[in-house]
A and B are shown apart, each in its own frame.
Chain A
Amino acid sequence: GDSVTQMEGPVTLSEEAFLTINCTYTATGYPSLFWYVQYPGEGLQLLLKATKADDKGSNKGFEATYRKETTSFHLEKGSVQVSDSAVYFCALTDNTNAGKSTFGDGTTLTVKP
C-alpha cells in the first residue's frame, strides 16, 4: 500500500534559519502530494500541493517540488519565523482510490526568537 515517511522531529530552529523537512513516499499510482500544517488546538490546513511530477508547490515562503525519480517532496523555507512553529504533515492522495489520503507521522517545528 501507499506510505509516507517524513523526517522525525522535533525540529528547533532560530528565527531566520533555513528549514528543510524531508518527505519520501511510496505509491502504486500517480498521487498528488501535499504539505499540511497544524497549529496548536486546530485542525490541519493545506500549506501547499503538487499534482504531478516536477510541479513545485509554494505558499507563504514555503516550497516543495514533486520529485518522481527520488519519490520525494521535501519542504523548504529560506527564513523561518516564530509564527511558523507548528506540526507539519506530508501526505499523498491516491486520486484513483476515492481520494483517500495517506499521512506521514508529522514533524513538530519550534522556532525560537
Chain B
Amino acid sequence: NAGVTQTPKFRVLKTGQSMTLLCAQDMNHEYMYWYRQDPGMGLRLIHYSVGEGTTAKGEVPDGYNVSRLKKQNFLLGLESAAPSQTSVYFCASSGNLNTGELFFGEGSRLTVL
C-alpha cells in the first residue's frame, strides 16, 4: 500500500551542487505536483504535471526543473543548489479533478550549506 513515495528523505548539499528528487506513485494518477514547505508559509507549488510527458510552472519555479517521462514518476531537479532552497519538499498526486483530493508523500528534507 505504497501510495506516493519520495526519495531521498534527507539530503545535505553544498551550494552549487546538483541533485534530483524522485517521486513515484502507484495509483495511476494523471496529475502530479511538487511543493515546498517553509516555516509559517504553508505549501507553495513549484511545478506540476497533468500527464505523462507534460510539465508546467507553478508559483515558485525558479531554480528547479522537472520531468515526467513515465506516468508514475515525477522528478524534481536542482541544477545549482542555493541556501534559499533549503526546505522540505513534498510530492503529491491526484487522480480526480472533480474532487481535487491530493495524496502526499512523506517529504524530503533538503539542506543547502
A32 cross-chain contacts in B, Cβ below 8 A = 98-100
Contact assessment for A44 and B90 in the assembled complex, using a CB-CB cutoff below 8 Å = yes
Q: Size of chain B's interface in residues, with CB distance under 8 A?
A: 28
| In the complex, residue of chain A having the shortest beta-carbon distance to the beta carbon of B49 | A98
A106 cross-chain contacts in B, Cβ below 8 A = 40, 42
Tell me the A76-106 residues at the B interface (CB within 8 Å): 89, 93, 95, 98-101, 103-106
B106 cross-chain contacts in A, Cβ below 8 A = 41-43
Contact assessment for A95 and B107 in the assembled complex, using a CB-CB cutoff below 8 Å = no
Contact assessment for A100 and B48 in the assembled complex, using a CB-CB cutoff below 8 Å = yes
Contact with B along A59-78 (1 / 0, CB 8 A): 00000000000000000000
| In the complex, residue of chain A having the shortest beta-carbon distance to the beta carbon of B100 | A93
| In the complex, residue of chain A having the shortest beta-carbon distance to the beta carbon of B109 | A41
Categorize the interface residue count of chain A: 20 to 34
Contact with B along A1-28 (1 / 0, CB 8 A): 0001000000000000000000000000
Contact assessment for A46 and B102 in the assembled complex, using a CB-CB cutoff below 8 Å = yes
Q: How far is the CA of A43 from the CA of B105 in the complex (A)?
A: 6
Q: How far is the CA of A98 from the CA of B55 in the complex (A)?
A: 11
B72 cross-chain contacts in A, Cβ below 8 A = none
Known A-B contacts A34-B100, A44-B90, A45-B104; A103 and B48 likewise in contact (beta carbons under 8 Å) = no
Which B residues form the contact surface with A (CB < 8 A)?
A: 4, 31, 33, 35, 40-45, 48, 50, 56, 58, 90, 92, 94, 97-107
Q: List 29 A-B contacts (CB under 8 A).
A: A31-B100, A32-B98, A34-B101, A34-B102, A36-B102, A36-B104, A41-B106, A42-B106, A43-B4, A43-B90, A43-B106, A44-B92, A45-B104, A49-B100, A51-B99, A51-B100, A89-B42, A93-B100, A98-B31, A98-B48, A99-B31, A99-B97, A99-B100, A100-B48, A101-B43, A101-B102, A103-B35, A105-B40, A106-B42
* A-B CB proximity, top 8 nearest: A93-B100, A43-B104, A103-B42, A32-B100, A105-B42, A103-B43, A99-B97, A44-B104
